[in-house]
Amino acid sequence: MRQFCKIVTSAPACLNRVTRSVFLFLSYRGLKPNATDPSLSYDAAALTAPPANRCPMKYLPLVWAALFRSRLRTLLTFLSIVVAFLLFGMLHGVTGAIDAVIHSMSDTRLRIVNRMGFTRWMPIALRDKVEQIPGVTAVAAYGYFGGYFQDPRNGVGGGALDMAPLFKIYPELVLPADERAAILRTRTGAIVGADLASRYGWKVGDRITVGTPIWQHPDGSRNWAFTIVGIYRYKGGSALPADELWMNYDYFANAGGEKDEASMFIVGIKDPASADRISREIDDLFRNSATPTLTQPERTWEQASIRRTGNIRFIVNAIIGAVLFTLLALTANTMMQSVRSRIPEFAVLKTFGYSSRIISVLVVLEAMLLCFGAAICGLALAAFAFPPVMQRLGIAAIPIPLSVIGAGFGIAVCLALVSSVPPVWRAMRLDVAAALAAR
């Protein structure tokens, strides 16, 4: 053993970076002469036993050196994993954000639309009849506006609403009392969501002009002027986006909208358990009328609206599954190449008494550092880019759900463990004599 150590340490130029790291590592462990066998330079027990008062993180230099044995290969693999987790965060963030919004919706609200389609409006007289149904607390008429600000690409969601019943139906709505009073007395007033106001730099008192391709203003144009009298938001913990503009229904209906008609009614109920009963009563009431209705709880209505655009969850999961499968094959191939090129170094470690278990831990740590480090970078980029991308798509600047971040870290750990199985299996079956002979 002494002669072997003298040969390899006297010719560092013949050793690659990882091999030199092995011997630096052995020296760092503070090896001492073997007292029972003077022919051996080092005590084998000292090689395998953890040194006293030493931190287990001393294995990190070996792992770090192994990663940078082939810098280009490591860099390309790292970037591939970063891009994969960036894509995972952005795509899975969409479904996570949708789930969070739906979960934040109340069980005490119903939506009434025309059974023939959302574009078929209903008579406003329906509101008075629904209010008479036992268990109903308030009914607000809603008229779709379909506006934009300055450029048709800058869509502004929202519409015309009965403000007084709206405030009863949405108790989680945060709007100061003076601003509530202002919208009730200001015919051309509007309240806007905090996210929407932040996007365009609006504030209370501003006079804004909102265009629409649908409704003509009494002055002959399609530009509607409003005075912002309030900025609303939702109570903490709600994922509902505050990104709409709401105007007075009476002003809209009499100034150019569908007079005495509404595209939807929002119904507040006392008991969520009575939602099915009230929904049936409403639909039965207008079943044989010229405008048969479809009444659903708010969450169900939103889920149905999303399904009409396509099975978003299936599409997202299919893309993510394909990406992760490819990533698994790529990472496993990288780890196999890394271990294959370091077979002689592992043989040296085994010669000095390191067990297969410790070598396996080194391989797993290498995969963990590569995958987890890249996942952190990819998910951090996704968390930074997600809100502005959602805002750019006309949705509120919703932060990426924490569940997506947690799922990403879990996948990174699983990816590292699974991709390290083949190289660990090969390292554990390593024959020291054959490996050193091949060297």
Q: What's the pLDDT at 117? A: 82
pTM: 0.64
Q: What's the pLDDT at 363? A: 82
Q: What's the pLDDT at 139? A: 94
Q: What's the pLDDT at 54? A: 42
Distance CA 147, CA 222 (A): 10
Q: What's the pLDDT at 41? A: 43
Task: Say which amino acid occupies 399.
Answer: P
Which 8-state DSSP code applies to residue 176?
Answer: -
Strand 207-211 with 261-262, pairing: unpaired
Q: Which residues contact 48 (CB under 8 A, 6 or more apart)?
A: 353, 354, 355, 358
- For the record, the structure tokens of 146 come out as 């379909």
Q: What are 323-333's pLDDT values in tens digits?
A: 878 877 877 77
Q: What's the pLDDT at 238? A: 67
Q: What's the pLDDT at 17? A: 42
| CA distance to 17, 245, 346, 426, per residue, from 340 (Å) | 15, 62, 10, 9
Specify whether the CB–CB gap between 264 and 111 falls below 8 A: yes
Q: What's the pLDDT at 281? A: 92
Which positions of the chain have pLDDT values less than 70? 1-59, 237-239, 257, 308-311, 352-354, 391-397, 431-439
Checking phi first, is residue 237 left (phi over 0); if not, alpha (psi -120 to 50) or beta? left
Distance CA 254, CA 206 (A): 23
Q: Which residue is associated with the tokens 């209505």?
A: 301
Q: Which residues contact 219 (CB under 8 A, 6 or more apart)?
A: none
Q: What's the pLDDT at 175? A: 92
Task: Say which amino acid occupies 67.
Answer: L
Q: What are 147-182's pLDDT values in tens digits?
A: 999 888 888 888 999 999 999 999 889 999 999 999
